[in-house]
Amino acid sequence: MTPETARVRLDQFLLARIPGQSRSQIQNWIRAGCLLVNGKKAKTGYLTRPNDRICISIPDPPADLPRPEEIPLDILYEDSELAVVNKPAGLVCHIGAGVRSATLVNALLYHLGPVDTGDPVRPGIVHRLDKLTSGVMVVAKNISSHRALSLQFKNRRVHKEYLALVFGHPASDQGTIDLPIGRDPHNRIKISARARRRRSAVTHFTLEESCGPFSLLRIRIETGRTHQIRVHLAHRGHPVVGDVLYGGKIDANLPPGMQTVLKGLHRPFLHSYRLEFGHPVSGETMAFIAQLPGELLEFLETVRGIRRA
């Protein structure tokens, strides 16, 4: 360590000196104790000092890294820096607990070829959609584009719009839900406003159409917290139709016809409709739309037909 490299965050210092690694990966190594400063564990935000002795022991990569799999994928756009895909419901974004294959990453590796963004477990992934949420996503094809796109998401410069069909009718045609959320203390699967450690979350909604006992909403989110839209709408008393986890199950008060139709919906009616961001190299504003998938469009048309009958 020299005086010229002092007073730099540890993760940033290492990022400039370990090629091919993302900042998030380096931060994970620091938290895991793989990097020692003067023989002791340090925090990612530690400011380096002259004469610091930094030792690093990079762990071996996991044996079950994702491999290419021939999974159908709707690619809306692709260039040398990124790809935009229309993720179907039911597809997990990357491998994790209990999931070792058949993910979006496996599909990306097959359709795009090798993708190196510094994280061998989640190559290309800049943001995520829930397993049962469909719609438009952007993925990076190299480290520099991954960093640039991730920074846009972090700084809330990405415009994200969703379509959601919810139970009931909001009191106003448009509104904002500003409610910090976090992991539910009583159910680790769920997210809630009762969490001990909460993070800011902001959701804007506009009524698109009233559909009998349901409302079709256009959603814009400033933040991208886990389950944010589903939790916020359920908190307002308007859970997403088909979202069993947050109260969007069959309502006994619905007309019999509506109950029958609802039994055929096996996913939340939540779809990432539009995504707008700046190209990581040119800076050009890019916007992409993924229309409602067939199962949601068919459900919506059936509901409209029942309402008119």
- Dist CA 189 CA 271 (whole Å): 21
- Dist CA 142 CA 118 (whole Å): 8
- Dist CA 140 CA 80 (whole Å): 9
Q: Which residues are catalytic?
A: 130
Decide: helix, strand or coil at residue 148: helix
The per-residue DSSP string of 228-252 comes to: HHHHHHHHTT-PBTT-GGGT-S--T
- Dist CA 118 CA 2 (whole Å): 27
Q: What are phi and psi of 162, to 5 degrees?
A: -130, 160
What burial class does residue 72 get, using C-beta atoms within 10 Å of its C-beta: 0-12 exposed, 13-18 middle, 19+ buried? exposed
